[in-house]
């Protein structure tokens, strides 16, 4: 039976609990330091609380320790990992190979997508040096994932299925460091790829003016989960460690329900990686949560419409077309309903996103707080803030319980209560009941209150006909809950044999053309790679590409050389608003676009 894991982001404790309650099998969360989202750190105490909540359902907690680490931080990193192990964290996500040279507790290691995991060779190497799981590059197709699983079947493969996309291969983006001294490999990305650029040819002729040419749409693989499962992925990751709880609730619920549908079609093949049944108080809708438009990215090969050149901001759901514009209002042609406070937006004639709030909605006639100057009849209208949906998600929207079936039997000196292979007993006189006792016993044993359990049924030994005082039944019920919590509620522990990272024989690491691409930032990492010292871009700079992208502007703009040779005078360059230039190199052999910073 293959276990399927839905992995959700946790900005903080509240988001983590919301993710578990809405159906996640695992969450990933940042520690106080060394996570790839510097703005999303959490205290060790909060992570411990999250572990306690998740483990009730057999769900897991992974902590991101996936930045590169400087020498003066090595001791603090080792101490943090020990603390995380002590509080019950199930695994850590790692980028810096110096961690493998530390004296670590037996905690499972997952290779972060920051380690640039896109080939069979890299995944095999990571397995050989001790990683239990590899988080694959977002850019991989389902066929590439299938081939990795075929050749390296004994490592868990985690794939992104939803959320924001980085345009560069993760771990190989240095442009934020180059431009703003903010390292993406240190969790401080300045989102260079969401900025506006001019596209210039070799003569300086402007081909595109001030457009978001590197800004990608958001990933959405909801309808393709089964393909990813069949390809060999076992963990399905939602991006969003900077997103709030309403985002987590909506997205986790949508993907959890879809996984359940797939399992229902293949009950003998797949199961969920955690326990519990979720009752939802709302219907999830991915279009109503922050998105830049959706793409399946490279799942089925290269597509032309993966980027969002007009805006890097949330577009939301299409709600209709502007019909008639008046001085203080307009109406909408479409079937959507609106509420006071809705946030709407449109793309104006200058390819700019404009947004506004609805002050008053009267059917399909809307009265903005301030009438947008560039709104015209015929424009497409989008809703990027749904007042009613957000209000609904601000309330309790899900309840997760573990269904149990109880069986009550007679012992020599009392009674035994069993559920989920856990038994408790009580000494009690056997008194024959004057009337059938089953209904009262079932009612008393089913009073599970605010525990994580719900009673599906109570069965009895044949010819069971005994009176049991309610106080004794309550004692049996409490004992059973305690036993279930202790004996069946924790995630599978990692054994030391699974987590022996040191001194494993392995082949040399897959090679890069430039030393800084190894992201060696400390003496332990240098020792691991057998080099003299740190070579990281953040420390020594470098003369190679500052971004390596599968997104290709020549292809996206209709100038692929395979289809339209010699149309453009190269090299092409991107120009920031402040005049800085970035030369583009098109590596057609590897179907890749490299970005170089002008010196």
**433-447: string of b/e by CB count within 10 Å (b at 16+)?**
eeeebeeebbebbee
Low-confidence ranges of the chain (pLDDT < 50): 488-491, 493-498
**What SS3 class is residue 426?**
strand
Contact call for residues 42 and 12 (beta carbons, < 8 A) = yes
Q: What is the pLDDT of residue 496?
A: 42
**Beta strands, E only, 363-487:** 365-368, 380-385, 398-410, 414-419, 422-427, 431-432, 453-460, 466-467
Q: What is the pLDDT of residue 159?
A: 98
What's the token pair of residue 372? Answer: 């947008």
What are the pLDDT digits (tens) for 179-190?
999 999 999 999
Residues paired with 354 in a beta bridge: 346
Q: What is the pLDDT of residue 33?
A: 77
Q: Which of 420, 389, 391, 394 is nearest to 407 (CA)?
A: 420
Q: Which of 496, 419, 421 is nearest to 454 (CA)?
A: 419
DSSP string of 526-578? HHHHT-SS---HHHH--SS-SEEES--HHHHTT--TTTSTT-S-S--EEE-TT
**What SS3 class is residue 315?**
coil
Give the C-alpha separation, 412 to 414, whole Å.
6
Contact call for residues 67 and 187 (beta carbons, < 8 A) = yes
Q: What is the pLDDT of residue 39?
A: 64
Contact call for residues 148 and 169 (beta carbons, < 8 A) = no
Pairing label, strands 365-368, 353-362: antiparallel
Pairing label, strands 343-347, 353-362: antiparallel
Q: What is the pLDDT of residue 489?
A: 43
How many separate helices (H) and strands (E) can be counted in the chain?
14, 30
Other C-beta atoms closer than 10 Å to the C-beta of 264 total: 9
Q: If 0-12 CB within 10 Å is exposed, 13-18 middle and 19+ buried, where does residue 565 land?
A: exposed
Q: What is the pLDDT of residue 53?
A: 97
**Residue 405 preceded by cis peptide, ω within 30:** no
Around 577, how many Cα atoms within 13 Å sit in the side-chain half-sphere? 7
Q: What is the pLDDT of residue 495?
A: 43
Q: Which residues contact 566 (CB under 8 A, 6 or more apart)?
A: none
**What SS3 class is residue 595?**
strand
**Beta strands, E only, 439-485:** 453-460, 466-467
**What SS3 class is residue 328?**
coil
Residues paired with 403 in a beta bridge: 454
Alpha-carbon distances of 567 from 180, 558, 559, 560, 564, rounded to whole Å: 34, 10, 7, 9, 6
Residues paired with 318 in a beta bridge: 382
Give the C-alpha separation, 248 to 256, whole Å.
12
Give the C-alpha separation, 494 to 515, whole Å.
34
Q: What is the pLDDT of residue 419?
A: 96
């Amino acid at each position: 039976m293959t276990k399927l894991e839905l992995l959700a982001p946790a900005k903080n404790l509240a988001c983590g609990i919301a993710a578990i309650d809405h159906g996640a099998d695992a969450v990933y969360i940042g520690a106080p330091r060394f996570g790839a989202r510097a703005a999303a750190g959490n205290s060790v105490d909060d992570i411990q609380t999250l572990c306690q909540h998740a483990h009730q359902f057999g769900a897991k907690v992974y902590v991101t320790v996936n930045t590169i680490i400087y020498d003066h931080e090595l001791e603090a990193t080792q101490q943090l990992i020990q603390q995380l192990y002590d509080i019950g964290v199930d695994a850590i996500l790692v980028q810096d190979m110096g961690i493998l040279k530390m004296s670590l507790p037996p905690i499972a290691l997952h290779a972060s997508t920051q380690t640039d995991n896109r080939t069979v060779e890299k995944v095999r190497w990571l397995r050989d040096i001790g990683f239990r799981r590899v988080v694959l590059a977002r850019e991989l197709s389902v066929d590439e994932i299938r081939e990795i699983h075929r050749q390296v079947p004994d490592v868990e493969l985690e794939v992104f299925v939803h959320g924001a996309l980085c345009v560069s291969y993760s771990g190989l983006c240095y442009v934020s460091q180059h431009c703003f001294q903010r390292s993406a490999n240190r969790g401080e990305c300045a989102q260079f790829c969401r900025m506006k650029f001019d596209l210039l040819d070799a003569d300086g002729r402007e081909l595109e003016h001030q457009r978001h040419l590197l800004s990608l749409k958001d990933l959405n693989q909801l309808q393709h989960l089964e393909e990813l499962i069949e390809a060999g992925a076992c963990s399905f990751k939602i991006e969003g460690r900077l997103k709030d709880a309403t985002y987590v609730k909506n997205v986790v619920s949508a993907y959890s329900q879809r996984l359940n549908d797939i399992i229902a079609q293949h009950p003998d093949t797949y199961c969920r990686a955690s326990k519990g049944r979720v009752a939802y108080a709302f219907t999830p809708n991915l279009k109503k949560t922050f998105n830049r438009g959706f793409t399946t990215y490279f799942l089925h090969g290269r597509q032309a419409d993966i980027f969002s050149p007009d805006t890097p901001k949330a577009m939301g759901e299409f709600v209709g077309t502007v019909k008639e514009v008046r001085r203080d209002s307009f109406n909408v042609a479409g079937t959507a309903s609106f509420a006071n406070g809705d946030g709407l937006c449109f793309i104006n004639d200058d390819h700019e996103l404009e947004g506004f709030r609805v002050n008053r909605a009267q059917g399909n006639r809307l009265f903005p707080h301030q009438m947008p100057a560039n709104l015209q009849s015929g424009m497409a209208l989008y809703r990027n803030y749904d007042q009613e949906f957000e209000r609904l998600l601000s309330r309790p929207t899900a309840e997760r319980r573990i269904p149990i079936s109880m069986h009550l039997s007679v012992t020599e000196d009392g009674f035994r209560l069993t559920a989920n292979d856990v038994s408790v007993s009580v000494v009690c006189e056997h008194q024959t009941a004057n009337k059938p006792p089953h209904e009262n016993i079932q009612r008393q044993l089913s009073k599970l209150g605010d525990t994580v359990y719900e009673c599906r049924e109570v069965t009895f030994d044949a010819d069971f006909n005994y009176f049991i005082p309610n106080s004794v039944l309550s004692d049996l019920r409490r004992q059973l809950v305690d036993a279930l919590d202790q004996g069946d509620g924790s995630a599978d522990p990692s054994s030391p044999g699974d987590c022996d990272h040191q001194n494993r024989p392995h082949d040399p690491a897959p090679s890069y053309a430039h030393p800084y691409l190894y992201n060696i930032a400390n003496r332990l990492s240098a020792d691991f790679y057998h080099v003299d010292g740190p070579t990281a871009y953040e420390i020594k700079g470098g003369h190679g590409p500052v971004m390596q992208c599968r997104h290709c502007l020549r292809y996206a703009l209709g100038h692929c050389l395979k289809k339209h040779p010699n149309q453009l005078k190269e090299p092409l360059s991107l120009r920031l608003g402040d005049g800085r230039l970035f030369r583009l190199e098109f590596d057609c052999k590897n179907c890749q676009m490299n970005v170089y910073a002008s010196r």
